[in-house]
Copies of this chain bind each other. A is one copy, B any other.
Amino acid sequence: MPFVYQRTVRFSDTDAAGVVYFANVLSICHEAYEASLAATGIDVKVFFGGVAVAIPIAHTSGNFFRPMACGDRLEIHLIPKLLQDSEFEIAYEVFLENQLERSVSNASTRHVCIDPATRKRRSLPAEVSQWLLQWTTRL
């Protein structure tokens, strides 16, 4: 079961070409990630403060099939996947609401868990394992 996040395209998401600025598509996907963490009961303020543990993004990619305009209602489907003890990846599919047969965009982010002081890899905290269990699709 993917996590589903609904989001209306805002004027500040757009650029002078009249559609969502490419990097803002990735920001909207990141919002879905934040909402999924909160849905698992994770305190996102503490989580993103990164004092005890930090899980920065090491890699991202995005494909943009069709433009999104101000006012468009989006639905982002998010599926995380454990890659290593210290690493996970998230796949995002972005749909126009009511047009779930064909995505307008997709994206991915890969996250590596580190100790913020040493910047060395460490294993994911328990709450993130919980989140992975909750939203990873099992076939």
21 sampled A-B residue pairs with Cβ under 8 A = A11-B30, A11-B34, A12-B15, A12-B27, A12-B31, A16-B19, A16-B49, A17-B48, A17-B49, A17-B50, A22-B26, A22-B30, A22-B60, A23-B24, A23-B30, A23-B60, A38-B71, A48-B70, A49-B70, A58-B65, A61-B62
Q: How far is the CB of A64 from chain B (nearest CB, A)?
A: 6
Q: How far is the CB of A52 from chain B (nearest CB, A)?
A: 13
Q: Are the CB atoms of A11 and B18 closer together than 8 Å?
A: no
- Render A43-75 as a binary contact track against B, CB cut-off 8 A, 1 for contact: 111001110001011111111110101111000
Q: Which of B17, B61, B70 contacts A56 (CB 8 A)?
A: B17
Q: Are the CB atoms of B48 and A58 closer together than 8 Å?
A: no
Question: What secondary structure prevails in chain A residues at the interface with B?
Answer: mixed
